Amino acid sequence: MSAHTHALRSFRNLPVASPLPRDVHVSFEFFPPRTPQMEQSLWACIKRLATLHPAYVSVTYGAGGTTRERTHATVVRLRQETALEPAAHLTCVGASRPDRRGGAPLLAVGHSPYRRPARRSPVEGSDRYTPHPDGYPYAVDLVAGLKRIADFDISVAAYPETHPEALSAAADLDNLKRKIDAGASRAITQFFFDVSVYFRFVERAEKAGITVPIIPGVLPVTNFAQVVRFAGPCGASIPAWMPDLFAGLDDDPDTRRLVAAAMAVEQCRALHAGGVTRFHFYTLNRADLTFAICHVLGVRPCEPTALAAATGSPA
């Protein structure tokens, strides 16, 4: 076999050379705006990504359970002004059980790429998590409590590289199993960059008896230095090959976005080649990268009538 023939066959086996996917479903995560300008950016992002008809969109809390009111206000506006299915994050931090008796039809419990997840996240100004005296101590308790109130559709967090405060990988997986057994419908992973990490985690989860979908959380990298800063506290590693991709681009945001898009597309197509059909995107309230990645995954804007329904605009 010639080198050219071998290279051609290798190319045909690459995920990017596969037919365009037709079975991909996506969801998007936003964070609540802090200023009027950020609110404008958020809703511009929502308007564009709504054209892709996501399964749902989630709105996260800030670190330590902050932004609760802004999170809920954003969810209410999504419900009232769009046809999107909103998911409100709920946290155990600084909240009593009565505080947690509300919610949206689809709930994402204790997960954000920016902070330690809510089951052990400390309140602002503290260095350790202390359960509210009248609250749910951990996410498993919150899930069980919500299911006693109503048959909510609940998503919980999963950590392919282990929660930073877990005693061990096995203990962390046991905790995920308890959350599923308490009534969660699916798990959404913390972001990761090495696809083999995800597949090994799913294999371990299946062996542990976890049968619900484990949806990969995808973080398009718009600022590599920022990702490095919060990867450790989130329990995510930076692969050895990744710094070289962004080297020298600190002051070149345009090129950095192109590299980020290429990397995320390759990651998602590799995941799809391994059988993944559902993706959850941490959008950072920016539409362009996520929209481009979805395009390559075969997720395209709806027809005009469906688009008008999704955005709440007239056809």
Domain membership of residue 146 (yes or no) is: yes
Token pair of 113, please?
A: 């790429």
- Kindly report, residue by residue over 39-81, the tens digit of the pLDDT: 999 999 999 999 999 999 999 876 555 567 788 889 889 989 9
User: Helix 139-149 and helix 169-181: axis angle, to 10°?
Assistant: 10
Q: What is the pLDDT of residues 220-267, one digit of tens each?
A: 998 899 899 989 888 899 999 999 999 999 999 999 999 999 999 999
Other CB atoms closer than 10 Å to residue 310's CB: what's the count? 21
d(CA 115, CA 233): 7
Structure tokens at 308: 């008008």
4 lies in some domain: no
| pLDDT number for residue 21 | 86
Number of alpha carbons in the 13 Å side-chain half-sphere of residue 106:
17
pLDDT over 50 at 125, yes or no: no
How many domains would you assign to the chain? 1
What is the reported pLDDT for 313? 57
Which helix (H) or strand (E) element contains residue 155? strand 153-158
pLDDT at 179 over 90: yes
Per-residue confidence band for 142, with pLDDT thresholds at 50, 70 and 90:
confident
**Do the domain assignments include residue 1?**
no
- Residues in CB range of 291: below 8 A, 6 or more apart: 48, 49, 52
d(CA 192, CA 215): 12
Asked if residue 11 belongs to a domain, the reply is: no
Residue 230: per-residue pLDDT? 85
Catalytic-labelled residue, pool 29, 124, 161, 266:
29
Q: Are 117 and 139 a contacting pair, CB within 8 Å?
A: yes
Residue 124 has pLDDT above 70, yes or no: no
Residues in the chain: 315
Decide if 29 is catalytic: yes
Question: Residue 16 falls within a domain, yes or no?
Answer: no
Mean pLDDT of the region 116-144: 58
The answer to whether position 15 is within a domain reads: no
Range of the domain at 293: 21-311
Contact in structure between 172 and 162 (CB atoms under 8 Å): yes
User: pTM for the complete prediction?
Assistant: 0.83
Residue 266 lies in a domain: yes
Residue 96 has pLDDT above 70, yes or no: no
- What pLDDT is attached to residue 311? 53
The enclosing domain of 215 has a CATH number of: 3.20.20.220
Residue 209 pLDDT: 97
* Residue 3 within any structural domain of the chain: no
**CA-to-CA distance for 103 and 98, rounded, in angstroms?**
11
